[in-house]
Structure 1
């Protein structure tokens, strides 16, 4: 028993960190979906602000350590399509009486982060081999998703509704996914500094500060995302128990459950 404790690193492993984030996520979504029915405490929303940064932090770790990055990206894409389809189906066929939107979709955000990290690795590898033509190509590829977003939105009003809905489900767009470009940038920042824990944590603190400055310190509840910092600091670099598919199932399941429950309660 003594040797077992000696082999364990101080802090919390990836499994424990994800479980903490999942619990806080439920509080946050209870506030989002049920505050129109009950007087849900505002602190449910505040503690939920740390969830997205933690999951992005862990997705960066997952991307770095996965043996098959393409398979990891494909798994995220399939999850994003399934969730987007489910959200669209429920929103169209079972709209809430108060028209509160079903917009949750972190799978799409994390998928886009993974795509950008894959391209960054492509750029770094070609810099090492001094293949500057491919380096330039890499930077162009980084811009394509965002450029396509603006192009799509500029013509969206002229598209047949079925094409519009198909694109929204099948093509995650940086400016429309949950958290948008700021969260994608966060994933990139954490990845660029992940080799040095202190620099990574400092980069996150600076990131939050920049958001505050841009918003002129009017960031609202999003300012509470700074409290993800101590949880990131406690991460000991160990994976912990495997939970590859737990989040893939739990995330959409609890979102759809709370959405349907809110419709039932609002209709009473």
Structure 2
């Protein structure tokens, strides 16, 4: 299989997929087939973001700053998220942040019991706080990290974990991830990096304003 997609292209695909999904979810669609198609395409987004997060953790030169940046954008994103959702849930950036904290625990704690307890507690927090994709999304980040470089094993564990979100869409997501060529791509520099982060709260706010 030819691997033609850089990390930058994965980001663009994930952002487009997420936007399509949110347009369908928040605006609805009179055509049920089109609605289901849009939601299915939308399932590409989260696994791709989770994969990119694990890759970013490996290559990050300042992991504390990486986590603080994600935490800051998670807080900002709560404003449009709570305006759009009234079910007590919290935005997906908190799920991804929990994933980062889990990876940090795996790499930095010395005792196996401490790693196990930390990883389990973080998963429990995502469940109790009800972050988007909850403990399954958190677990997917760990899978991408622990089996890095083994897309076959990532797929073997990842698809069963996420199947409830739509098996076709999840399979599409892993198909996209399999095309990753290991290169960073054209999205470089601080401005582009933070623009990528900012897209999430900005597109949610735009959806809210236009409803």
In structure 2, do the counterparts of structure 1 residues 179 and 59 end up closer, same or farther at CA, with 3 Å as the change threshold? same
Q: 2:169: which partner in 1?
A: 224
The count of corresponding residues between Structure 1 and Structure 2 is 203
Q: 1:233: which partner in 2?
A: 178
In structure 2, do the counterparts of structure 1 residues 122 and 220 end up closer, same or farther at CA, with 3 Å as the change threshold? closer
User: For the Cα contact (< 8 Å) 1:77–1:111, is it kept in 2?
Assistant: yes
Q: 2:136: which partner in 1?
A: 182
In structure 2, distance between residues paired with 1:210 and 1:108: 19
Gaps of 5+ in 1: 1-8, 92-98, 127-133, 150-172, 213-218, 263-268
1:104 Cα deviation (Å)? 6.5
1:144 to 121, 132, 149: 121
In structure 1, distance between residues paired with 2:133 and 2:52: 16
- 1:30 and 2:23 aligned: yes
In structure 2, do the counterparts of structure 1 residues 56 and 211 end up closer, same or farther at CA, with 3 Å as the change threshold? closer
1:50 to 34, 44, 60: 44
In structure 1, distance between residues paired with 2:194 and 2:89: 22
- 1:191 and 2:145 aligned: yes
- 1:19 and 2:12 aligned: yes
- 1:62-211 aligned within 5 A: 62-88=56-82, 90=83, 105-123=91-109, 126=110, 134-147=111-124, 149=125, 173-175=126-128, 176-194=130-148, 196=149, 199-209=150-160, 211=162
Q: Deviations over 1:48-76 (max 9, x none)?
A: 10110001001111111000111101111
Task: Give the SS at the match of 1:111.
Answer: helix
In structure 2, distance between residues paired with 1:20 and 1:238: 15
Q: Which of the pair has more CA radius of gyration? A: 1
When the two structures are superposed, what TM-score results if normalisation uses the length of structure 2? 0.85
In structure 2, distance between residues paired with 1:12 and 1:143: 33
User: For the Cα contact (< 8 Å) 2:105–2:115, is it kept in 1?
Assistant: yes
User: For the Cα contact (< 8 Å) 2:80–2:208, is it kept in 1?
Assistant: no
Query: Once superposed, which parts of structure 1, at least 4 consecutive aligned residues long, lie more than 6 Å away?
Result: none
Q: Deviations over 1:195-228 (max 9, x none)?
A: x3xx23332233313554xxxxxx3635421111
In structure 2, do the counterparts of structure 1 residues 201 and 252 end up closer, same or farther at CA, with 3 Å as the change threshold? farther
1:135 Cα deviation (Å)? 3.2
